[in-house]
Structures are given as structure tokens and as C-alpha cells.
Amino acid sequence: MFAVSGYNGAFTGTSAVLQARKDKYGVGVNGTRPDGNPYIWTENVVPYRIYVGAKGLLEDGSPAPASDFLARNGLKYGKIYGFAIDMSETGPSTGLWRDDFHRDPVLARNGANVTGKWIAQDWQWDGVVRNFQNDGSWEFQLPPPGTGVAGTELENHQWWNSAGVDAAGCKTEHVSPDPRAGNTAFIQGSTCGYFGHLYINGVSEALAAAAPGTFPATFDGEWLVYQGELDITSQINLGGKGQHADGKNALLNWDDASGNGKVTFEDIDGLELFVSDDGSLHAMIQEDSGNDYGERMFITGPLEHLDDGNNIQYYLVALSGGNRNTRMVEGVGIPAGTSSRADSHEFSGLFDLSGLLRKENSTFVMSATDEGSVKRAQDALVNINDKQILVGLQSGNMHCGIIEAFQADRGGQWLMYQPKLPPPVSAA
């Protein structure tokens, strides 16, 4: 099982593919959907998604030879599930699609719980390569299987898309698995600036109840909000840093030409969960917004999704790039001579090294033969302030000099970061 994120069809030639979809699969006049409306392009018309695959099986469900890499890893026989919720006015979002829900300061508070179902879409890979008009991506404009029947549990369930079925919304970005043992869960962010925790509940029971060779029609699920697309300026701790040369600061995101900064997160891209030795979870957040003063990267205080009125604290880690960043304007680049202009950078990707580096009695605990779960267990034994975290940085404006000579894609760095968060506040 893994989480799926991103574009849902970001490529050119969309008009011809869209028309082909309408011609072949439309059920009404001129290829309309069952609701009578025309199909629209699929990009960002999508709910939260997961994939569930059975290892060792071919596309038709028959046993695969051990040499088949894809089948051995469960990638030939499986189902994609989308997150669907009761979209009636009495449902958990009061009928709001995902982006609008997270703009509501009452509904999208920290700890808000949106219960739903992970529903398997009808489409399934059958081993035959076909054009995109045949892809399962289009099904997120159709009612989820098993829904719409009066008097049933799923009567009012619809895919919880970002902006419904007739318009594209904000894109989902990085996902990060919940590193705690016993949880089938992950966090996910949005370019709209919100993020939260998704749970898939009762997995073992649902799999056991499914008929042999089949997948469950649904899993129970829930979305718990960490941050809505709301004002975070009172939650940001700059620590005296993030001060810009013209008097502005990094409490706001300056990604437009209006001169008015934005009070929300903007275009959350990189997102990663870390577990500390006290069991607390922390996230690191990397924006990819075009911030004039450099993209922001934050680490959170302890995450919690209790509906208790408390908000998460965000601590500024670093800034990089930006067309009004004085270092960029002066053409600073490492190595020297590589920068062509003042432009955006992108923090993208994070990795907890602490489990790999952990020692006992001066000897590394892990060995090359250990499975990944061992590394996760070792990560959890290291305090958040003792972790060594690998940070990826892309520098798209750096492509001259030695970078051009070696025909590399762009400049950038791997950075090592060790947090220095304040101790948690003791309960009164």
C-alpha cells in the first residue's frame, strides 16, 4: 500500500485526448458524463488517493514468476482508492469541496476530523498499454462505485476533490508516511497551503473479509486537519532571523508583484514527518511559491490533532533564492560563476538520517542487510534535536560556468540540518 499524489494528467495535447474520451466513453449527447455535464481535463480534479496491490500476482490475478520485478512488488495487480465523504449539508464538510473547506476558519481548525471512506475505483490495470483517454483518472468526475443508492451508508458520498468535478483545484504535493508503528497513515499537503493527516482504518479486517483474489470495496478513513489555508503569522517563530533588507520579514510570503504579502502558507511542496524519542511527531514544510525574498522552510513543534483550540507552532529553518534576495541580485553562486540571474530556488526533499547514523557502544546499530523498518525503529529512538536531517535544494538560476560545462541540469546543494527546538511546554 502506498499513497498517490500529484497532477492526475499534466501533459500537453489535452484537447485531442479530451475529445477522444468524450467520443469513446461519453454516455450522453456529444460525450457528456452521466450527470449531463461535459468531461473536463483531469488535472487536479482528484481526491486523496492510495494504491493497494497484491504481491506475486500478474495483471489477471494469476501467480507471477519470481523474476517479475513489478509483480513481486505488488505493482501489477492492485486497486486505486480515492477518499470520498458525505457531501450533503449535514456531512463532515457541510457540503464544501476540499479547498473551500480549508479556507473556513471554523471548519478547518487544527484537530477538525473529516470522516469518510476509501473507495476502490472501477478501473484496474489489465496489462495492456492504452492511451490516456482510457485511464482511471477520469473516474474522479463520476460517482464513486457503490454510492448514490438511497438509504445506504454511501448514499451521499462523493470523491472529496479539491474543487468538485467541474473545475480544477489546488494540487496535492508531497506525502510522508506516518513513521509510528501500528498506524496505516500519512500526511499530505496542498499548494493551497493546508496540510493534514490521513488514516486508513481497519486495514487487516477489511483485507481478511474480502473474497479470495479480490480487494475490499472500501476502507474506513479519516482526515485530520493540522493547518487550514488560514493566517499563520501568529504561529511563526522567526528567532530573530528571516529579516529582509528592505524592512520586510519572513512572517509573510511575498510571492506576487502587488507588494502585499500573504499570511498563509503558499504552495506547500516538500513535506516530511519525523518521530522523536518521546513519541512526538514533527513535520518539516518546504514552500515552492516564487517568494521574491527566497523560499521558506519550517519545522513544526509537536504535531497534535486534538480539537482543543491549540495551534501548531512553526519555526523558520532557512530561506533560499528569490529575485529580490540581495545575494541573488549580486550573482552569488557556489561554485562561483554559476548564477545567471536572481531567481527562485526550491527546497525539495527531506530524509531522516538519524537511524542510519545511530550508534551503541561506538558501533553503528544498522547494517546493510537490515530492512527499512529497522531504520524507522532506530529513527524513533533519537530526539528531534539530535536528529541529522538531509535537505535537498534545487537552484534553477544556477546553470552557468562549471554546471554548464558538465551539462548538468542545474545547481543545488544537499544540506545537513540539526533542529534546535525549544523544550515542550509542561502541562499546568
Per-residue three-class SS string for 215-238: CCCEEEEEEEEEECCCCCHHHEEC
Peptide bond into 335 cis (omega under 30): yes
279 lies in the same domain as 215: no
Residue 21 is which amino acid?
Answer: R
179 CA to centre of own chain = 15
Residue 249 is which amino acid?
Answer: N
**Domain boundary, last residue among 186, 206, 227:** 227
Q: Which of 103-107, 308-312, 393-397 has the highest mean pLDDT?
A: 103-107
The burial class, CB within 10 Å (0-12 / 13-18 / 19+), for 103 is middle
Q: Three-state SS for 69?
A: helix
Question: In the numeric block, which cell numbers belong to residue 3?
Answer: 499513497
Q: Are 394 and 345 in contact (CB under 8 A)?
A: yes
Q: How many CA atoms lie within 13 A of 167 on its CB side?
A: 8
What are the residues facing 199 on neighbouring strands?
A: 185, 222
What's the distance, Cα to Cα, between the start and end of the chain in Å? Answer: 41
215 lies in the same domain as 261: no
Confirm whether 425 is domain-assigned. Answer: no
212 lies in the same domain as 100: yes
Confirm whether 424 is domain-assigned. Answer: no
Determine how many CB atoms are found less than 10 A away from the CB of residue 152.
11
Confirm whether 422 is domain-assigned. Answer: no
So what's the pLDDT on residue 129?
A: 93
pLDDT at residue 229 above 90? Answer: yes
Domain containing 7: what range? 2-227
220 lies in the same domain as 249: no
Query: Which of 228, 249, 258 shows the shortest CA–CA distance to 296?
Result: 249
Confirm whether 108 is domain-assigned. Answer: yes
**Number of domains the chain contains:** 2
**Domain boundary, last residue among 205, 227, 249:** 227
Query: Cα–Cα distances in Å, from 286 out to 24, 248, 291?
Result: 41, 20, 12
Q: Are 420 and 384 in contact (CB under 8 A)?
A: no
38 lies in the same domain as 58: yes
So what's the pLDDT on residue 425?
A: 61
What pLDDT digit, counting tens, does each position of 55-102 carry?
Answer: 999 999 999 999 999 999 999 999 999 999 999 999 999 999 999 999
For residues 168-177, give the mean pLDDT.
96
So what's the pLDDT on residue 335?
A: 86
Q: Give the separation between CA 169 and CA 325, rounded to whole angstroms.
A: 30
Determine how many CB atoms are found less than 10 A away from the CB of residue 39.
21
141 lies in the same domain as 260: no
186 lies in the same domain as 66: yes
pLDDT at residue 270 above 50? Answer: yes
